[in-house]
């Protein structure tokens, strides 16, 4: 499916590699304005990306999404500069090779794959309301279908680590659970929210570490399709899934069952509390009261 993108704007996190990069290329080629929120830069020597940046069709904001100081700075710049967002692709993430923690002290998969997508939606709701499509796509996974036990209390600081089938899997599940819980609230504000499985993709990169178990890497190289396949699934869900209800978990283009649904409310409250405590409350604490603003302004005059 191809759409005419002129006049529409997409924000993509993790746009500089893998699925995010292929999605960026596709949208740019169709005339979309693309806002990229990345930790790293785009590959050099790509004519489409270079030309798009040169004419400001592709606009890049750099941030480490696991560092909230960095994220706040980038979001402040983005909100002050950009007018609207038609589609938000919460795509950043990946399977890390070892247990590690963010600057805030939470497990890295949980921070970037469960917490940050919620923060971005909340912080960018006004921009989404100004858009035409008003759609959010959270990149999910089908790996969590192997999960037999899910305890939200262990997400922040897991007691054990396993590549791909450990924190990566449970945090993708957690994000998909709160997606379903949050959807009715956003629907009331005119925003559609979906959790979309991009399917298996060969995202291995030469010279880069990978969170795939060693025994899977030959299979990934031989049998997994390129990341353009996953990008197409996210694209189709955002632009061609009019019959799919908000909040759904979409796998292979269809609504799929989601286990552990009874834990969704708890996960949503966890990410909501983090956002309110570490974004909203701190922002308000650093805000200058209106009365002081008036006094300062008068003094300068």
Give the pair of three-digit tokens for residue 93.
């993430």
pTM of the model: 0.89
Give the pair of three-digit tokens for residue 111.
């921070």
pLDDT at 235 over 70: yes
| Tens-digit pLDDT profile for residues 144-169 | 998 999 999 999 999 899 998 999 99
For residue 297, what pLDDT is reported?
A: 30
Give the pair of three-digit tokens for residue 99.
């247990």
Share of residues in the chain with pLDDT > 90 (%): 77
Q: Where are the beta strands (DSSP E) in 174-273?
A: 192-197, 249-251, 254-255
Homologous superfamily assigned to 9-300: NAD(P)-binding Rossmann-like Domain (3.40.50.720)
For the ranges 225-239, 242-256, 259-273, the one whose mean pLDDT is highest: 259-273
For residue 199, what pLDDT is reported?
A: 87
Phi, psi (rounded to 5 degrees) for 36: -110, 130
Mean pLDDT, rounded, for 257-272? 97
pLDDT at 35 over 90: yes
| Tens-digit pLDDT profile for residues 86-116 | 999 999 998 898 999 999 999 999 999 999 9
| Tens-digit pLDDT profile for residues 189-212 | 999 999 999 988 667 566 566 666
DSSP secondary-structure letter at 194? Answer: E
Q: Where do the structural domains in the chain lie, given as residue ranges?
A: 9-300
Length of the chain in terms of residues written: 301
Q: Are strands 249-251 and 87-90 parallel, antiparallel or unpaired?
A: unpaired
The overall average pLDDT reported for the chain is 89
Q: Match 């010279």 to its residue by tokens.
A: 207
């Amino acid at each position: 499916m191809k759409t005419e993108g002129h006049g529409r704007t997409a924000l993509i996190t993790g746009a500089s590699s893998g699925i995010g990069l292929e999605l960026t290329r596709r949208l740019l080629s169709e005339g979309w304005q693309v806002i990229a929120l990345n930790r790293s830069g785009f590959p050099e020597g790509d004519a489409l990306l270079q030309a798009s940046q040169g004419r400001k069709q592709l606009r890049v904001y750099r941030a480490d999404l696991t560092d909230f100081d960095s994220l706040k700075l980038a979001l402040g710049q983005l909100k002050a500069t950009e007018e609207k967002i038609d589609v938000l692709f919460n795509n950043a993430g990946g399977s890390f090779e070892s247990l590690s923690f963010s600057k805030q002290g939470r497990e890295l998969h949980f921070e970037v794959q469960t917490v940050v997508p919620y923060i971005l939606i909340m912080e960018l709701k006004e921009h989404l309301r100004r858009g035409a499509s008003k759609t959010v796509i959270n990149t999910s996974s089908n790996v969590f279908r192997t999960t037999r036990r899910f305890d939200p209390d262990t997400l922040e600081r897991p007691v054990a680590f396993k590549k791909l089938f450990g924190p990566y899997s449970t945090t993708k599940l957690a994000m998909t659970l709160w997606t379903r819980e949050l959807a009715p609230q956003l629907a009331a504000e005119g925003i559609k929210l979906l959790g979309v499985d991009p399917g298996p993709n060969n995202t291995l990169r030469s010279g880069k570490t990978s969170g795939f178990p060693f025994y899977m890497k030959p299979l990934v190289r031989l049998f997994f399709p390129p990341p353009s396949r996953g990008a197409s699934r996210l694209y189709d869900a955002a632009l061609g899934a009019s019959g799919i209800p908000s909040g759904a978990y979409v796998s292979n283009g269809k609504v799929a069952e989601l286990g552990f649904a009874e834990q969704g409310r708890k996960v949503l409250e966890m990410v909501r509390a983090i956002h309110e405590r570490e974004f909203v409350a701190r922002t308000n604490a650093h805000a200058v009261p209106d009365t002081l603003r008036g006094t300062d302004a008068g003094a300068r005059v």
